[in-house]
Amino acid sequence: MIKAVKSTLVGFDAAIEVRGSIFNLRNVYEEGTGFTHIDICDEKGKFVDEYASGFGIDLEGETDDAEQFELNSIRIFEYIDENLVF
């Protein structure tokens, strides 16, 4: 089961486990372009990559319903699994 949860690190919006590794996620909204991407950091908060998602990860459900949140979590998981876990 793929599940994003609240990050234990301050400044992050969520965390997700991929193949036993924890990745912390931070929503980034770019003022000039209006585009949203997700910064992906390791379990200690060190920047690893950014996912040009076009959406943020919303654990509170303010912008996404449960189904959309689940789909976004799957997309993030797949991106990390395919590009960052070796």
pTM of the model: 0.88
Tokens 């193949």 sit on residue: 19
pLDDT per residue as tens digits for the range 35-85: 999 999 999 999 999 999 888 887 876 666 788 888 889 999 999 999 998
Beta bridge partners of 35: 30
Of the chain, the end-to-end C-alpha distance in Å amounts to 20
Q: Around 3, how many Cα atoms within 13 Å sit in the side-chain half-sphere?
A: 3
Helix (H, G, I), strand (E, B) or coil at 70: helix
pLDDT at position 44, please?
A: 96
Tally of domains in the chain: 1
Q: Which amino acid, one-letter code, is at 18? A: V
Contact present, 10 and 3 (Cβ < 8 Å): no
- Domain extent for 20: 4-83
